[in-house]
Amino acid sequence: MEHYNMNLTLKVWRQKNNQAAGSLETYQVKDISSEMSFLEMFDVLNDQLIVAGEDPIAFDHDCREGICGQCSMHINGRAHGPWANNTTCQLHMRAFKDGDTIVVEPWRSKAFPVIKDLIVDRSSFDRIIQSGGYISINTGNAVDANSLPIDKKNADDAFMAAACIGCGACVATCVNSSAMLFVSAKVSQLALLPQGQPERQSRVLNMVAQMDKENFGNCTNTYACEAECPKGISVSNIARMNREYLNAGLTTES
């Protein structure tokens, strides 16, 4: 692919803190390489702001390899920008043309309050995990791996669900801010494996209860979450969680 430089107009959401009212601020960046990642373009912009004595734009990022799920940017109306199965750090500037205007906003959800600029508080996801997204392991010697036979299909499905990086793009893109794709990926991953069986019923009930407490919306099966998920988590996980929930809800006594 041919390399080119571009000049861009950026409209970025600036918000001092959780209580302050925010607004879109306009910035110009020049000579941006088409080989840069979107975050590197933001580094250039922040450099510019620091040199000018202004407050740099706060944004989340960590691995820059597409696996940490931190880079939560809503770019031109889409979670993680225009590319499919992609995080913001893996979005490259060749997705844009010279002279483009790019609007960047934080995730919008009651459950993800803005901390500053583009950084949102995703601890609601942590609390959902704490409510049941784990397995109990007794201490002692590790058991022989071959003593736990696992069906290949289940192992694959569990692995696909475990690919969820908890970035929150599903919530950000859902018309209802529903967290069903995230929670269902975590429920599925453990429900499909033998290690997840002891807490199978209480897990789904507790995690859904916590999800409801965190003010996420309800699922309308629009499947936008699946389309925007950087890891391609399937909505079949949501169907599985619905089955798990119905099953646990009807049979559990506690």
- Interface residues with another protein (CB under 8 A) are 24, 74, 76-78, 103, 105, 108-111, 114, 173, 175-178, 180, 205, 208-209, 211-212, 215-224, 227-228, 235-236, 238-243, 245-246, 248-250, 252-254
Nearest approach in angstroms of CB 201 to another protein is 9
Are 35 and 14 spatial neighbours (Cβ–Cβ below 8 Å)? Answer: no
217 by Cβ neighbours in 10 Å (0-12 / 13-18 / 19+) ranks as: middle
Rank residues 148 and 217 by Cβ distance to another protein and give the closer one.
217
Nearest approach in angstroms of CB 208 to another protein is 6
Rg for the chain, CA atoms, rounded: 21
Nearest approach in angstroms of CB 2 to another protein is 26
Rank residues 74 and 92 by Cβ distance to another protein and give the closer one.
74
Which residue in 158, 159, 170, 168 sits closest to 221, CA to CA? 170
CA 55 → CA 51, 70, 110, 117, 188, distances in Å? 10, 21, 26, 11, 43
Rank residues 49 and 227 by Cβ distance to another protein and give the closer one.
227
CA dist., res. 117 & res. 55, Å (int):
11
Rank residues 14 and 64 by Cβ distance to another protein and give the closer one.
14
Nearest approach in angstroms of CB 92 to another protein is 18
DSSP string computed for 61-118: -S-SSS-S-----EETTEET-SSSS--STT-BGGGS-TT-EEEEE----TTS-EEETT
Rank residues 56 and 217 by Cβ distance to another protein and give the closer one.
217
Rank residues 5 and 23 by Cβ distance to another protein and give the closer one.
23
By three-state DSSP, how is residue 5 classified? strand
Rank residues 50 and 209 by Cβ distance to another protein and give the closer one.
209
The torsion angle over the Cα atoms of residues 236, 186, 80 and 171, rounded to 10 degrees, is 80
Nearest approach in angstroms of CB 138 to another protein is 26
Nearest approach in angstroms of CB 143 to another protein is 32
Q: In sequence order, what are the residues at sequence separation of 6 or more whose Cβ sits closer than 8 angstroms to the Cβ of residue 104? A: 10, 11, 12, 13, 73, 74, 75, 118
Nearest approach in angstroms of CB 162 to another protein is 19
